Amino acid sequence: MEKRIIFRGALAGLAAGLVAFVFARIFAEPLIQRAIDYEGGRDEAQHALDSAAGVGGADEHGAELFSRTVQGNIGIGVGMLLFGLAMGALFAVAYMICLGRVGNLRPRNLAVALAGAGFLTLAFVPFLKYPANPPAVGHEETIGQRSAYYLIMVLASIAFLILAVVLGQRLKPRFGTWTATVLAGAAFVVAAGVLGFLLPTFGDLPTNVADYGRHASETPLPLRNEAGDIVFPGFDADLLYEFRLYSLGAQLLLWTVIGLTFAPLAERLLGHRPIRVEEPTTAAV
């Protein structure tokens, strides 16, 4: 049974990865190319300023191992398929753990609810604190820190959701299903909000106007010469907004397809009725 469920989860994940790839290829890839073009133009402008000041160095950029065509098609495609496969398998394992233990839910309804939980904890909550960045945005020195704190946010979100479900189950006999769900949801929001407030923030704009030309922000600011004149514009705010929006949209689409694809497969395998886990009984001696 377990292998059959995991197989269905992996199948749903592959389908979701394919759909997410098509979405990302149409909407996000052009934005990535625009960000790369901006980065190249800014590097050329910075090199010209350095050369004029007599501090120009050798170009450290080597030839690309893969062309942009390969990266934007095969690279993203393979990456999204493998990510979807991994998320589908993870989803199936979580589904088996929750089956019969999280209330009187039909297999199909549990699949949809669990997919929503996956999007919430693995994508949406971490995104609110550490949204995705296109090329040219973010210092190389902070990539490791951002990744570490993002992982902390993901793991904490999963833990908070598990605790919220347990809390809801404990409160249900006293307050009823609706009130217990609201209270547990509020506890999750408060816990995630407090953690997000405590974790460090990257990308704050500098408070000193004189720092604008020093790239003090995670988002590139206008590049200025020694006279203070702008020689290259800052990163397009609309481009950053659209990239982050489509990145979150791809995640939403991924988890939606996983849930909607896995739901009928699970119900066909497990039946239409809710599954309950029998409490172990102690045999009389």
Q: pLDDT tens-digit profile of 129-175?
A: 999 999 888 777 778 888 999 999 999 999 999 999 999 989 999 99
Q: Supply the mean pLDDT for the chain.
A: 85
In this predicted structure, the answer to whether residue 55 has a pLDDT above a threshold of 90 is no
- Among 59-63, 80-84, 98-102, the range with the most confident prediction by mean pLDDT is 80-84
For residues 178-188, average pLDDT: 95
Question: Per-residue pLDDT tens for 91-122?
Answer: 999 999 988 777 778 889 999 999 999 999 99
Q: What is the pLDDT of residue 12?
A: 97
% of the chain exceeding 90 in pLDDT: 57
Task: Tell me the per-residue pLDDT of 210-221, one tens digit each, with 9 for 90 and over.
Answer: 443 344 467 888
**CA–CA gap between residue 89 and residue 3 (Å, rounded):** 10
Rounded mean pLDDT, 74-93: 93
Contact criterion met (CB below 8 Å) for 90 and 115: no
Question: How is the chain split into domains, by residue range?
Answer: 2-59+67-138+231-270
> pTM for this one?
0.85
